Homo-oligomer: A and B are copies of this chain.
Amino acid sequence: MTPPRSTLRADAQRNREQLIVTAAEAFASGRPISLDAIAKRAGVGNATLYRHFPTREDLVEEVYRDQIRPLREDARTLLATEPPAQALHAWMLRFADWAGERRGICEALVAMSASGRFGTGPVCDEVQQVLAMVLEAGATAGELRSDIDPTDVGGILAGLLSVAGAPEQRPQLNRMMDVVVDGLRPR
């Protein structure tokens, strides 16, 4: 009898990769694009797309999997040059810039948080890890509370972006982050 399969069938693997490549190009163009259009452009049926990526977020997370990496380096640099709380604030702003340039990221993060899946998926996992690193540094320096779950901070960040993620709302976002970072300091 056929054993249960752990890896994707070769054609499925090909389709999956083609979908990611196509979606990356489509997103990068800046123009809005429907999922069916991505599927068609990738030369597969829409059902294939939805089978590989049940939700739009799943696709978005895969597309930006590699692009998120440099933000970790940014965090390290910031931590090396600024006090942790300030570094946290600066990094969150940098992330806002990064997300602002990438269609769908912000909505994806909110959806992940709202469904309790923040931290699963390449992008929000990376965000969570970076936040954990910065929080840890802050706790060690006695500048940030040590009892905070990075998931909570990630959720707050996603929430703020969903409400004031547009470039023209940057001043408001900055003020809100100010409040949040202050709230993360020890009492």
Contact = CB atoms under 8 A, between A and B. Distances in A.
Nearest to A147: B175
B155 A164 contact: yes
Contacts of A163: 110, 113-114, 155-156, 158-159, 162
Nearest to A118: B163
Given A156-B179, A180-B179, A183-B179, A116 B149 contact: no
A160 B114 CA distance: 10
A9 B95 CA distance: 50
A185 B161 CA distance: 23
Nearest to A145: B179
Contacts of A114: 162-166
Nearest to A114: B163
Interface string A168-187: 11001001101111111101
Sorted from nearest, which 7 A-B pairs have the closest CB atoms? Answer: A183-B183, A159-B159, A179-B183, A182-B183, A159-B163, A113-B163, A155-B163
A166 B150 CA distance: 19
A155 B183 contact: no
Interface in A126-145: none
A160 B156 contact: yes
